[in-house]
Amino acid sequence: MSTLRIFFTFILILAAVCAASAQGTWTVRNSGTTEDLVAVYFTTASRGFIAGDNGFLAATNDGGATWSKYPLNTTESISEIYFRNEKNGYLVAGKLMFKTDDGGNTWKRTMIYRAGDFTKGTPEFTSIRFAGKKRGLIIGSIVNARDEIVDSLLMLTEDEGESWSRIPLPSKAEIFHVDFDGKDRGWIVGDKGLMMVTLDGGRSWSIQKTGVERALFAVDFRDDMNGFAVGGGGSIIRTEDGGASWEKVASPSPETLKRVYFADDKNGFAVGFRGLLIRTYDKGKTWELENSGVKGDFYGLFMAKKYGCAVGERGQVITYSR
């Protein structure tokens, strides 16, 4: 073999290795529970949290290789974990919320509303975000005694969660997820393709047309203009103008998608039912299947540039590294 041919062969092998490294790998982990896991959040590459049904909460200090259960002492199912920084975090758990100020070493229940504040039913919270140091929003629904959704719910704080007040919304539909970019612009997604937007930090909201009839379960905005949402029946939509218009994008699977998360401006992931894991390399214009290594439904996802984690039914956990 000539020297030139050996050189080009080496280059091709090196390119293949680099491409594989850039794509990263997913590893199936043991969570230590058979509870359905719905939420996941990492504050660093090594420190992360998973949570789900019946108040299950666990933490890792080794990137998800092992997990230690935390005794939260509640049977409320946890729908979201959110950290403002490495120290200050929140758990959204049905009608309850828990807060940590020490990086998740300890959690304490915090009050969002008082008994008697709601006469039509009981609040069931699903998602939380902070838009700045003091202003935060938590969303959910009002559920009556027959377990029916009777109204949407948004609570706003201007004092870091010391007090909360209700903000009216233009739709009574069930809502699932909220995301903010900066201090002013935020989006909420919900049933039957619902998308609501705020331009004033959550004080007022309007409806954006998505062209989607199925439920939208998650939304992720990279900046003021570029955003994505996923939902029932493999629904994927994207916008490049802050949601003034939404474009439907083909999914490689008809399975429902529960979460979408972009690690950077180009690279995004989404997870859904029956172990579905898909990714994009081109700002969400096209999506392709990835092998998750599992068959159970996924409900939660967290991604950073070089690490990530997805969680789902019966304690299912996979971690990503590159």
1, part of any domain:
no
17, part of any domain:
no
Range with the lowest mean pLDDT among 1-10, 41-50, 267-276? Answer: 1-10
* Distance from C-alpha of 202 to C-alpha of 189, rounded to nearest angstrom: 14
For 309-319, the pLDDT digits (tens) are 999 999 999 99
For 193-227, the pLDDT digits (tens) are 999 999 999 999 999 999 999 999 999 999 999 99
Place of tokens 């699903």: 126
14, part of any domain:
no
Domain count, the chain: 1
Give the C-alpha distances (Å, rounded to integers) separating 97 from 56, 77, 123, 258. 14, 11, 11, 22
Is pLDDT of 308 > 50?
Answer: yes
Q: Which residue range is the domain that position 141 belongs to? A: 29-321
3, part of any domain:
no
Q: What is the mean predicted confidence (pLDDT) over 143-169? A: 94
Q: What DSSP letter does each residue of 260-311 carry, written as one string?
A: EEESSSS-EEEEESTT-EEEESSTTSS-EE---S--SPEEEEEE-SSEEEEE
202, part of any domain:
yes
16, part of any domain:
no
* Distance from C-alpha of 91 to C-alpha of 186, rounded to nearest angstrom: 20
For 44-71, the pLDDT digits (tens) are 999 999 999 999 999 999 999 999 999 9
263, part of any domain:
yes
Q: What is the CATH number of the domain that holds 96?
A: 2.130.10.10
37, part of any domain:
yes
